[in-house]
Structure 1
Amino acid sequence: MSSPKKKPAAKPEAKADAPLPPDPRQSKSRLWLTFPAPLITRPVIWELGQKFKVVFNLRQVSVGKDIGIVCLELDGARSEIRAAINWLEGLGIEVEPVEISVLES
């Protein structure tokens, strides 16, 4: 008499909300961007999101007739953030790191 076949043990399901371990190559940068007048109406932040594998978060924005100032948070691989910053500077946008977090105070 043959014994009934056993079903293979089920694999434990991965929880969708389980946090992933941090990737040391990932980085988060907060930057002040100063846009010159000719670039104020150009969708630069949208272009940045299309060109680079970074997640952006607009933290603060002030746009006038002659200047635009944006506090932007970038999250992604360090190499992608560096490339995005170089691209912004190549367009003529001033990029400076946020020194203190007045936005979180």
Structure 2
Amino acid sequence: MNIHFNTQSIVLSESMRSHCVTKADHLFAVHPQATEIFVSIIHHRSYGQYDVELKVHAEHQWCFVKHSGDEFYHVAAEAFSAMTHKLQKQKTKAKRELRDHSLEVEHDE
């Protein structure tokens, strides 16, 4: 499991980093097909908003989510939750396509 951080206009505190690592550990536990996470954190000082962008490599493709808001810990939690949901949808879709393909093969024979 690899976690990479990129920040803009903010110095990442140990608490912020720990929060993201804890959420990433949970994501890796729930979705072992995820191999790499890029966490990009941007703080817009002019209007006090955080953007948390996640890019996750899983099943030979990249998934991307972005959440914004004024409270970092909430925004980060929402981003990781959205990514977990997106990876679950991707996994379900892949299983459905595999099942549908299996049915097509049976009908062809």
TM-score (norm 1): 0.28
TM-score (norm 2): 0.28
Structure number with the bigger relative contact order (C-alpha 8 A, sep ≥ 6) is: 1
- Structure 1 or 2: more helix by fraction: 2
Which structure is larger by alpha-carbon Rg, 1 or 2? 1
